[in-house]
Structure 1
Amino acid sequence: MINWKKSFVLVLSLILILALITTSVAAAQSREKIVRIVASWPCYIDPGVGSDNVADICTANFYDTLVTVNVDGEPAPQVFKNWEFDEDTLTYTFKIRKGIKFHNGDEVKASDVIFSLNRMINIGEGWGYLFRGVIKDLSAPDLETVKITLDHPVGPFLLYLTHVAVLNEKQVMENAKKDGLYGEFGDYGRDWLLTHDAGSGPYMVKEVSLAEYVIGIRNPNYWQKFDENAPDSFKIIGVTEPVTVRTLMAKKELEITDEWQPTENYEAMSKIPGVKIANLRTGAPLSLMFNTSKPPFDDVHFRRAVMYLFDYAICKEQILPTSERSRGPVSPLMPGGDPSLPLLERDVEKARVELAQSPYAEQLDQYPIDFWWNSVVPDTEKLALLLQSNCQELGIKVNVVKTTWTMLGEAAAHSDTSPHIFPVIQTAIGYPEAGALLHQIYHSTSRGTFFNTHWLDDATQAEIDYMIEDAVATLDTNERYQKYKIIIRKIMDLALDIIAVEMPQRYAYQAEYLMWPAARAAETGEKFFTLMPGLRMQFKDMRFIGDK
């Protein structure tokens, strides 16, 4: 006899189980695939304004640039599909890739390229300095052709174009304020572009809270194909406080950290299940820049003495163990760097000899050195304390002063307010070549910024400027690289900085469920170009490989 009661319960149980399975599958399929990262703030998403790491990440994801680079760091097509160069007239002729559309549906045209380049040059911020005095003429003979004539030879000009994002001219000008600093262009759309994009990139701006975060969502009409497991969206959060970051990682409410966490925090996060630490070698020098206009650093012998006193081995082994020992201001990893230079070493006897030749040798008590360290990067305090200890051996006093990004930025603007020693990790580069770092750190056009607080005397600055400009103007690549090496040795002889180490960009990330190409390449050794922040944080190339 059939037990109808038991049968009914069994059937009902099966129905409930099936419903739960169906619901779980549907929920998993509909779950938003979001990558959340943290970064130092503020974040300027306007590609004509921002130039730091977080700005480059936004540009790479909201916009398409004219040119990109391949795994070897060589120029590769992006918006420009091909080009020709007439060396006699210094004219490039570029062809635009068909079918690229802005987020509002407008097609990318040659006139948008002209507008974007002119806007970058006229605003003069961010990466605009690369083009200052470089372009003689811009024209668009038709909708798909752009001609750029240079004012003078520029060897790495194609690499400059990796920073030129294409904006929708019509959309920008429709949203520009009429009253502004740029004549007929009003404010050039600057106010609107604080919280909106006018790009054609793989993601579109969904929401921006200027003090807190940026959210981007997938562009459904992007001209390149998305993998089905690529992120649907991303969120960049303006938080770097170590305890907060570690807590978010532990709760799986954060996929990738910033690159400025203290060593102890990376060690703690590496113990969180599913979390790995990615060490991306980027050739970024950690420079302790000397303000050469301030006594006693106006004397080369004193500078050399301090440079020799620093303990490079302790810095690498005990403070920054994932870093690489330094050979000079440009890493051998960088095209045009000099791998033949020896590793920098502490040498107290050489320091003693140099100090004896300094006019300040008998007056050290009258000339204490101020070393300002950034509270956002706690490891810089350890560097300051190390140098303080090293210098005590020869009677040089170092004052260790805690400060902030804002205070450092304000102080950097003038020689008299810049401290004796200003630490900076040179992570954002104009283009992947030695000339970019040399120009960014030592040329007069960057003086008074985070990148350059050396404040050289006029004669020395003019000499360095000429050498850099002459090298960059050299069209033959091998000849240009040789000139870079001569400049590097000149800078080492002038002792303008302590190049403490070559810093990796270090991130904790959720390796259990997120495939991040840059991190995978660092782990496996496969070829991947990591020298540019935006390229290593291309969200469309990431993949979700499991459930959170």
Structure 2
Amino acid sequence: MLANRPGENMKKGVSKTVWTIALIIVVVVIAAVALMIQKPVKPAQPAQNVTAPSPTALDTLIIAMDTSDAVSLDPARAYEFASCLVANQLYDKLVDFELPDLVHVKPEVAESWEVSPDNRIYTFHIRKGIKFASGNELNADAVVYSLQRVIKLKQTAAWVLTQFVSKPEQIEKVDNYTVRITLDRPVAPSFFLATLTFTTGAIVDPKVVEAHAKGGDMGSDWMTDHSAGSGPYILESWERESQIVLVANPNYWKGAPPLKKIIIKHVPEPTDQLLLIKKGDVDIAWDLQADQIAQLAGTSGIVIEKVEGLRLIYIGMNVAVKPLDNVKVRQAIRYSIDYDSIVSNILKGMAIKWQTIIPKGLLGADPNTPYYKNITMAKKLLAEAGYPNGFEIELTTPPTYPQIDIATKIQSDLAEAGIKVKIVQMTQSEMYEKYRKQGLQLVLAGWGTDYPDPDDNAEAFGNYRVKQLAWRNSWYDDYAANLTEKAALEPDLNKRDAMYKNLSEYILENGPFVILYQQVHPYVLRDWVKGFVPDPTFFYLDFSKIYKKVGS
């Protein structure tokens, strides 16, 4: 009979199923509540930007930068940004600077020194107990060999030393721990000592170098991608267009550095560097652009270190071209430019307004910035100079960012004063070749300091006799040239400082330059990188003082 009542059987089946499902739900809810009472649910955690490095990575520093300019890691040849940066980790010098101070040299291999009354003879006393990575002793023989080697090899960077010491025999061993250097001419001690801090002043291991010499090259071919120093690190490998790897020197005389390995990855594109630093795959990104820096500002786990570099960007005004020979015309150009807009809107803060020839951070730096955009003053000066309706002039610039943007802004600014600027775009190589032959009218260019002494800038901007920037702009001013040469000889640091400030003020008013700004270099770090002191040059950074630590 039951088989004859399918509808009733279906209702009973559905009812039973519903009750079963309800019972399961009740059980699940009760279990969930019990679980919550036993262990409260944690609030959702915000997503982390990167995963902190594992403890095994804490002894390794990974840097992303463009190393394509590196030619050789031999300190007698190294003259490029990446080359000098790496060489400074591999070698010690007689004296050095300790960041952030770029005014007072500090003892390093030389624990002390004396200078003769005529400022020509320097006697250095070598610190005892220093060993090269090989275990060989660093003594007077090594110092003499290293500095004579620079002169004998005659590589590009040799001029830093040979401008004072033209012959190898002027570098002599007095005894096992004393070296005497006799200069061609007397100069301010602070000047000569500053140049010894450059890469060409590095001390190499003579025994190791000579063991790899061939064809009279004093080991230079082998030294291209090997090291023979006493610095905190040893060159383990250099894979071109890939990476440079340094390992800690077990014989380092100042004690083992905290980081056992430095890996400098060749990452030429800033966009790739940005991705790597965001992910935490690298510890430091070297070459990020202003927009990328702005993008990272305030990002958790990221630290942005900025430092005023030693590079100045300026407009050169060739006084052989009328009306640039008139000082009032040159002043009118200075009063036509909106410096603040260039720094803020084009460079987005990656520069500081700076109008004198010696960059901030060096002896003799003058922070005076009297010029600002004042079209009324510019027109008044032009009228007094005999050009009430302005004039036409060419401005040469490389066709790259930010130069072309700056040139366009200057063109617009000068137009307000009645000066019609025609922008001429040239590749840098072509532009500088023509510039060196006094062949340009206005030029947008830059000058980077080779070593942190004011003479490097003063000679270029003030002394036409050396045929650098003053000469290229046909500015033959004997007052500036004589003051430049005199300041290079002044042994008193305070008097020398005052002389360079005097020179800077004179060129600021009378010279053929519009100093636009001083570049700011940003370093982007993960916050676990500690002990990093930003470097305004390109070779004083000391990796041996850096360590990594997760958390505060």
Deviations 1:424-443 (A, max 9, x none): 263x4412x43333235544
The residue type equivalent to 1:541 in the other structure is: K
Residue 476 of structure 1 pairs with residue 476 of structure 2: no
Could you tell me how far apart the structure 2 residues matched to 1:355 and 1:257 are?
47
Residue 153 of structure 1 pairs with residue 157 of structure 2: no
Number of the residue aligned with 2:511: 495
Number of the residue aligned with 1:35: 62
Could you tell me how far apart the structure 2 residues matched to 1:213 and 1:411 are?
36
The residue type equivalent to 1:237 in the other structure is: H
Q: Report percent identity of matched pairs.
A: 23
Please state how far the C-alpha of 1:139 moved relative to its aligned partner. Answer: 0.9
Deviations 1:96-140 (A, max 9, x none): 112222333322221222232233345262263354145683210
TM-score scaled by length of structure 1: 0.78
Contact 2:455–2:488 (Cα < 8 Å) also in 1: yes
Contact 2:335–2:374 (Cα < 8 Å) also in 1: yes
Contact 1:372–1:419 (Cα < 8 Å) also in 2: no
What pairs with 1:211-290 in structure 2 (closer than 5 Å)? 211-228=241-258, 230-237=259-266, 239=268, 241-259=269-287, 261-270=288-297, 272-282=299-309, 284-290=311-317
Could you tell me how far apart the structure 2 residues matched to 1:294 and 1:203 are?
53
Mark the runs of 5 or more structure 1 residues left unpaired by the alignment. Answer: 1-25, 179-185, 520-529
The residue type equivalent to 1:391 in the other structure is: L
The residue type equivalent to 1:422 in the other structure is: L
Deviations 1:241-286 (A, max 9, x none): 3322212222323322225x33111112336542222112346433
**Which of 538, 543, 547 pairs up with 1:539?**
543
Tell me: CA distance 1:124–1:191, structure 2 relative to 1, closer, same or farther (3 Å): closer
Range that drifts further, 156-165 or 287-296: 287-296
**Which of 356, 362, 371 pairs up with 1:328?**
356
Could you tell me how far apart the structure 1 residues matched to 2:430 and 2:220 are?
25
Could you tell me how far apart the structure 1 residues matched to 2:282 and 2:322 are?
46
Could you tell me how far apart the structure 2 residues matched to 1:446 and 1:256 are?
39
Please state how far the C-alpha of 1:75 moved relative to its aligned partner. Answer: 1.6
Q: What is the root-mean-square deviation in Å for CA atoms of aligned residues?
A: 3.3
The residue type equivalent to 1:434 in the other structure is: P
Number of the residue aligned with 1:396: 420
- Look up the SS of the partner of 2:123 in the other structure: strand
**Which of 43, 67, 75 pairs up with 1:47?**
75
Tell me: CA distance 1:409–1:126, structure 2 relative to 1, closer, same or farther (3 Å): farther
- Look up the SS of the partner of 1:104 in the other structure: coil
Number of the residue aligned with 1:142: 175
The residue type equivalent to 1:369 in the other structure is: L
Please state how far the C-alpha of 1:31 moved relative to its aligned partner. Answer: 7.0
Number of the residue aligned with 2:7: none
Could you tell me how far apart the structure 2 residues matched to 1:413 and 1:217 are?
43
Please state how far the C-alpha of 1:210 moved relative to its aligned partner. Answer: 4.3
Please state how far the C-alpha of 1:387 moved relative to its aligned partner. Answer: 0.9
Could you tell me how far apart the structure 1 residues matched to 2:232 and 2:430 are?
36
Could you tell me how far apart the structure 2 residues matched to 1:458 and 1:390 are?
25
TM-score scaled by length of structure 2: 0.78
Could you tell me how far apart the structure 2 residues matched to 1:255 and 1:42 are?
21
Tell me: CA distance 1:360–1:349, structure 2 relative to 1, closer, same or farther (3 Å): closer
The residue type equivalent to 2:533 in the other structure is: A
Deviations 1:163-185 (A, max 9, x none): 2111233433443442xxxxxxx
What pairs with 1:333-352 in structure 2 (closer than 5 Å)? 333-339=361-367, 341-352=368-379
**Which of 230, 234, 249 pairs up with 1:204?**
234
Please state how far the C-alpha of 1:311 moved relative to its aligned partner. Answer: 0.8
Residue 105 of structure 1 pairs with residue 135 of structure 2: yes
Number of the residue aligned with 1:129: 160
Contact 2:455–2:484 (Cα < 8 Å) also in 1: yes
Please state how far the C-alpha of 1:190 moved relative to its aligned partner. Answer: 3.8
Residue 466 of structure 1 pairs with residue 482 of structure 2: yes
Tell me: CA distance 1:318–1:360, structure 2 relative to 1, closer, same or farther (3 Å): same
- Look up the SS of the partner of 2:533 in the other structure: helix
- Look up the SS of the partner of 1:518 in the other structure: coil
The residue type equivalent to 1:540 in the other structure is: S
Could you tell me how far apart the structure 1 residues matched to 2:278 and 2:547 are?
20
What pairs with 1:311-390 in structure 2 (closer than 5 Å)? 311-320=338-347, 321-331=349-359, 333-339=361-367, 341-356=368-383, 364-365=391-392, 367-373=393-399, 375=400, 378-390=401-413
Contact 1:153–1:474 (Cα < 8 Å) also in 2: no
Could you tell me how far apart the structure 2 residues matched to 1:382 and 1:440 are?
26
The residue type equivalent to 1:119 in the other structure is: R
Could you tell me how far apart the structure 2 residues matched to 1:200 and 1:453 are?
41
Number of the residue aligned with 1:79: 109
Q: Which of the two has higher C-alpha Rg?
A: 2
- Look up the SS of the partner of 2:353 in the other structure: coil
Contact 2:69–2:81 (Cα < 8 Å) also in 1: no
Range that drifts further, 284-293 or 380-389: 284-293
Number of the residue aligned with 1:59: 87
Could you tell me how far apart the structure 1 residues matched to 2:183 and 2:407 are?
44
Please state how far the C-alpha of 1:408 moved relative to its aligned partner. Answer: 5.6
Could you tell me how far apart the structure 1 residues matched to 2:217 and 2:385 are?
52
Tell me: CA distance 1:253–1:288, structure 2 relative to 1, closer, same or farther (3 Å): farther
Could you tell me how far apart the structure 1 residues matched to 2:239 and 2:325 are?
44
The residue type equivalent to 2:91 in the other structure is: Y
- Look up the SS of the partner of 2:179 in the other structure: strand
The residue type equivalent to 1:472 in the other structure is: A
Contact 1:249–1:269 (Cα < 8 Å) also in 2: no
Length, aligned pairs only: 487
Residue 424 of structure 1 pairs with residue 446 of structure 2: yes
The residue type equivalent to 1:507 in the other structure is: Y
Range that drifts further, 48-57 or 77-86: 48-57
Tell me: CA distance 1:38–1:133, structure 2 relative to 1, closer, same or farther (3 Å): same
Please state how far the C-alpha of 1:538 moved relative to its aligned partner. Answer: 1.4
